[in-house]
Amino acid sequence: MKISRKRLKEIVEEEMSEPALTECGMTDEPLPMPGPPPEPNRALEPVYDDDEGQMAMGQLSRLVNDAGELTNLLGGHTQLPS
């Protein structure tokens, strides 16, 4: 099936129209921030509900500990199989 250039433009214009964008949730309106409204004259700070930073720090800590144990197991002249 071939689509003419004119029909393709019509399809794109239909899809980019305001009703089509609002149906899928895409608007120019900013998303509300969770939590109480900010105090006047105070900088907005993002609210993080998850513990991803804490989980990453835990993973890095375990990685450091494991690397230390491996360093202690291997001497400077240890020969490993290739």
Taking residues 17-34, report their average pLDDT. Answer: 65
Q: How confident is the model at residue 61 (pLDDT cuts 50, 70, 90)?
A: very high
Alpha-carbon distances of 70 from 28, 37, 39, 65, 75, rounded to whole Å: 53, 50, 51, 9, 9
Angle at CA 54, nearest 5°, toward 45 and 59? 145
Render pLDDT for 34-56 as a digit per residue (tens, 0 to 9).
777 667 777 766 666 678 888 89
CA distance 25 to 16: 13
Q: How confident is the model at residue 23 (pLDDT cuts 50, 70, 90)?
A: low
